[in-house]
Structures are given as structure tokens and as C-alpha cells.
Amino acid sequence: MTQPAPASSTLGRIARGNLCSGCGACAAIAPKAIDMQVSGAGFLRPRQTETLTPDQDHRIADACPGLGLQLSPGDRSEHMLWGPYISVYSGHATDATLRHQASSGGALSALLIHLLESGTVDRVLQTGADPDLPIGNRNVLNEAQAEVFASAGSRYAPSAPLAAIAPLLDTDLRIAFVGKPCDVAALRALARTDPRINQRFPYMLSFFCAGVPSLNGAREVLNRLDVTEQELSSFRYRGDGWPGFATATKANGEQARMSYADSWGGVLSRHVQFRCKICPDGTGTFADVVCADAWEADARGYPVFGERDGISLVMSRTEKGENLINAARSAGKLTVSQFDIDTLNTIQPGQRDKRRLTLSRLAALFITLRPRPAFRGFHLWKNARQASPSALAKNFLGTLKRIVTGKI
């Protein structure tokens, strides 16, 4: 009988703490020993099939965003809440079709198209719908404008873009990488030990990320829309307008849809994985450029989700990112104007609160001796002091209760 491969102690610790974000970096480090599989809970998780070398185990411990993040602003301006940055803009793709099709204003895709058309990169590694599982995602290596258009739009489901990089490292392609903030953080961490990363991936782009829901979240949306997975031919989480509708299209062409407020706010956000609840980096601090929704705020200061033409928030976090934004503007792909960074406090309340409350949630892991990530450079103490004592206590006790009742 074949013996199972001895489990990696690092992967074991991550699994015990439920700390995996599903980035796929471990599969990039040990592609013959690890692949990414959908877990019973509906998330992408590493499956180890062969023994890891000590070096592989060490590199996973170093790069895994589930175990920690090390942010260093260098000589960039740094905002205590929003991290290191060069400039902040709001705007949209100049291509009206892309702007409509994309998640917000299509700025992220416009930057990708500029990189491809200017010959700055040969390919784009990004996430698109999985034709075999319409609510799911797959990694796509795109070259043509139409392919980038087809991959535009946020997909609130697991993705593991780093699981695709191992075979690309020995090519001579220059590739723009798009991923969740934790994916980009892991790619930057891999670059510390593998010089091929920065050669293959000269641009790393991301988006603000409130968390990845399980595939079961999309199944609940389908259930509420009275559509079965068997009937489904395609599924959009949003886009086709701003914010756009979660739209299920059946094989017979019939469509059923749900507003963004109902799909994300009412269903998907309740299926987010645990690692996202203690994430201090939903704003993509490791990316060259990070895009988000430049929501408008109502009189009470809360974001408004009414349908209208999309506007992206566009934040350069490195000089390279700033130069890319300027080049895309000059090439007529992108139109943007300056945006006051302090306005983010009102239009991104979820991200603001998460940064302020991470410490109280980590404290619950600490006192119960659970495995927990080490986050450096996120000013968690200073940010916690900006939260009310009642919010800190509520988040500490809420996390503690989830640990004690076995929900984490």
C-alpha cells in the first residue's frame, strides 16, 4: 500500500489555524508536491501529495501570507490607514465598452491593455470565469485585448493565481500579474529568494479586497435566484454597469439577477474565509497599482451603491506604478483626476474598520494559543487606538466566541 507523503509542518500549522488565503504560492514553490483543490468548505486549499524538501518548507514559511506579511514603505509617503503610496486618483477606462463591462470604471483593465499594446509586457496573468464551473474561477494567461475585456469584472469566489506561475518562470515572457492583495504580497515575498520573479513579473497589480467568499456563497445566490448549477451557462458576480448585478445566465438564455447590495451585502460577505477577517492588507499595499470602487458617499457618509457609469479609484504605490498610470493616460487608455486620500475613510468604511480592528481579532488568537500571522509595518497598535473601545471589545469577544465554539 502506498504511504501518504509526510505532511509539511508549515502547511499543517497554516491548516490548524485556518490561516490559508488560497493564493497558491506554496504550489508555485513545490509544484510537483502541491496543487490547489476546492475544499469541502468551498475554498481553494493546498493539497500535498509528495514530501517537501526542507528548503521548500522554509520558502513556504517565508512567503505564505497566511503566516505573515512584512510591509516596508521605504522612502514613499505613508498613510497610517491606507499604507505607502505615490498618488491617488479616481477615473475610468476611456473605452466605453470596457468601462461598462468592468467592475468599477475598468481602470485596472485599461492599464493591462496599455501594457500589452505598448509592448511593455507580453502577457497578462489574471483571473477569469471557469467554463467548467461557471461560479468558479481559473487562471488565464491573456495576450489580446478581447481576452482582457472578457476577464474584466470582480469575481467574488476563490482564485489562486500563484498556482499558475511555476511553468512561466523558465520562459522569457514579461507578464503583468493581477491578484488579490495577499497574492501580490506572496509574489513579492517569493521575489526575495527567486530573482526570476521580478524578471517575469515586472508589474504587479491588485484591487481593494474585502475578502474571498466560498463557492457556497455563489450557490446561495443561485438558490435565491431559483437557478440550479446544472442550468447555468455563465455567472457574473458584477460588472455590466456599476456596481452591476450578480447575473446567472441559463443555457436556454434566460437570466436572473440580484443587486450588488443584496448579493455581496446579503449573501457573499457572510461566506468569507477566516484569513480575510484578520487581514490588515485589503488595500493592496504590495502592488505597483491598486484599483478599487470610488463610491460616492451619502449625507451620512456611507457609500451609495446606485447604478451609474463606473468610477475606479486608482492608487499608485510605487514609482513604477505611477509611471504606468501616466503612460496609460498619455496613450489615451485612461482618464483620471486627483483624489483626496482622506475621503477614503468614508467611501471604504469596511477597509478602514478592518485595519483598525485587526489587532483585537489577533488578540483573541493570541490568548487562546492559536496559530496566528505576524503582520509587520501595518501600524496595528496605532490604528487600533482610532477604534472605539466598544468596537475593539466586540471584535475581540466575537473572535473568541468563534474559537471557543469551534467555528474557526
Ligand X SMILES: Cc1cc2nc3c(=O)[nH]c(=O)nc-3n(C[C@H](O)[C@H](O)[C@H](O)COP(=O)(O)OP(=O)(O)OC[C@H]3O[C@@H](n4cnc5c(N)ncnc54)[C@H](O)[C@@H]3O)c2cc1C
Site for ligand X in 319-348 (CB under 6 A): 348
Q: Which does 276 bind (CB under 5 to 8 A by kind): ligand X, ligand SF4, none?
A: ligand SF4
**For the purposes of burial, counting CB atoms within 10 Å of the CB of 377, is it exposed (0-12), middle (13-18) or buried (19 or more)?**
middle
Among 34, 88, 113, 178, interactor with ligand X by CB under 6 A: 178
Residue 175 parent element (H or E): strand 175-178
Contact status: 139 vs ligand SF4 (CB under 6 A): no
> Which 8-state DSSP code applies to residue 263?
I
Site for ligand SF4 in 169-198 (CB under 6 A): 180-182, 186
Which CB, 260 or 375, lies closer to ligand SF4? 375
Any contact of residue 211 with ligand SF4 (CB under 6 A)? yes
* Residues in binding contact with ligand SF4, number by CB under 6 A: 26
* Helices 54-63/9-17 angle, 10° precision: 30
The Cα angle at residue 49 between residues 48 and 55, in degrees rounded to 5: 65
66 near ligand SF4, judged by CB under 6 A: yes
Q: How far is CA 333 from the centre of its chain?
A: 24
Rounded to an integer, what distance in angstroms lies between the CA atom of residue 52 and that of residue 59?
11
Interaction residues for ligand X, span 186-225 (CB under 6 A): 207-210, 212
Judged by CB under 6 A, the stretch of 21-29, 96-104, 247-255, 385-393 that binds ligand X is 96-104
Return the one option of ligand SF4, ligand X, none that residue 66 interacts with (CB less than 5 to 8 A, by type): ligand SF4
Can you list the positions of beta strands (E) in 259-323? 289-293, 296-297, 303-304, 312-316
With beta carbons less than 8 A apart as the criterion, state whether 257 and 200 touch: no
User: Interface with ligand X by CB under 6 A: which range of 115-123, 175-183, 223-231, 383-391?
Assistant: 175-183
**Window 346-375: residues binding ligand X (CB under 6 A):** 348, 350-351
Helices and strands (DSSP H and E) totals, the chain? 16, 19
Question: In a 10 Å sphere around its CB, with 0-12 CB exposed, 13-18 middle and 19+ buried, how is residue 2 labelled?
Answer: exposed
Assess 107 for contact with ligand X (CB under 6 A). yes
Of 39, 48, 87, 109, the one binding ligand X (CB under 6 A) is: 109
Which positions from 233 to 272 touch ligand X by CB under 6 A, shown as an x/- string?
----------------------------------------
CB distance 119 to 177 below 8 Å? no
Q: Does 243 bind ligand SF4 (CB under 6 A)?
A: no
